[in-house]
Amino acid sequence: MRIKTSYTFLLVFVLFALGFYSCDRSGKKAEPTDTPTSGEVNIAIDESYSLLFDTEIYTFQSLYQNAKVNARFLPETDALKALMDDSVKVVVMNRALNESEKQSFKTENLYPIETKIAEDAIAFVVNNENPDTNLLFEQISKILNGTDTTWKQVNPKSEALKLNIIFDNPNSANARYIAEFSKEAKLPANAFAVNSNTEVVDYVSKNKGALGVLSVNWISDKDDSTSIGFLKKVKVVGISKEGDSERFYKPYQAYIKTKDYPFCRDVYMINRQTRAGLGKGFVSFVAGTKGQLIILKMGLVPAIAPVRMIEIN
């Protein structure tokens, strides 16, 4: 009788211990299993850089076949919201966090890492029949401020051609850039959004009075079929530097690097995953040699690139 009682007690103890261990395991938040080169991570990318990051992600996953980068291409406002909601770990956008956004992360004891990966530019495109392919900085300023709303005509007797500014999305970085450039800090009345960069080009190609606003990434890669197709449909506008009425610059790499082209901006990857996970690994790849070479090939200016000095006698 005593042996039976001991067996019963032991059995109850083992079952209780197993149950307690099981409850503890199920109630505990699973530890992350991703590493800098393996696992899975969600990231959000400003739609302006979808062509670039299609290539970056493809190359990274080809090199590290145990890594899976799930990309969402979103307008800037939505991409940043996804980062702050923790539905993505990394965001790609063309500005750093402002103080309010940093403070919001700080309240959660988070300090996202901002990494500059490239220099970019706003490109302006016009209809192939539009003779105005060069604009003074002062002219484009008046257009973006809403002061000039018609194109100048080659024939003074011609009816004034109404000018419309077209951009990709009301929540995009391009829309924000135009609004910030305006003296009124808002979009001019003759500016409106379509749904994508492709639609911007399509609209401009069909409307002689349209001025399209794009990220230069969409027209900078001369080997990409999308860029080649866009450049056949529209013309890229050259812009002068402020106060210069003789020289005009298109958003080419050299003029972005030297800042001769006046509408330049930086591209950042912002990572809230400060531990050594896949998010951090992917950012390191894009900011490293292979990732920077892809940026160079795509027509943007790499943030980290070797400088070649040439002495001319």
pLDDT tens track for 13-37: 444 444 444 444 445 555 678 999 9
CB 93 within 8 A of CB 79: yes
Please tell me which residue, 121 or 7, carries the higher pLDDT value.
121
Q: Percentage of the chain surpassing pLDDT 90?
A: 58
The model carries a pTM of 0.82
| Residue 221 CB neighbours (<10 A) | 19
Residue with tokens 């980062």: 83
Which range is most confident: 193-197, 213-217, 276-280? 276-280
pLDDT tens figures, 102-156: 999 999 999 999 999 999 999 999 999 988 899 999 999 999 988 898 887 655 5
CATH fold of 120-265 reads: D-Maltodextrin-Binding Protein; domain 2 (3.40.190)
Per DSSP bridges, beta strands 67-74 and 39-46 are parallel
Cβ contacts of residue 205 below 8 Å, gap of 6+?
A: 127, 128, 233, 234
Whether 120-265 and 39-118+266-302 are alike in CATH topology: the answer is: yes
Tell me the three state secondary structure of residue 51: helix
Model confidence at 3: pLDDT above 70? no
Query: Where exactly are the structural domains of the chain?
Result: 39-118+266-302, 120-265
Q: Which helix (H) or strand (E) holds 100?
A: helix 99-106
Produce one character per residue of 298-312: b if its CB has 16 or more CB atoms within 10 Å, e if not.
Answer: bbbbbbeeeeeeeee
Model confidence at 12: pLDDT above 60? no
What CATH number belongs to 39-118+266-302?
Answer: 3.40.190.10
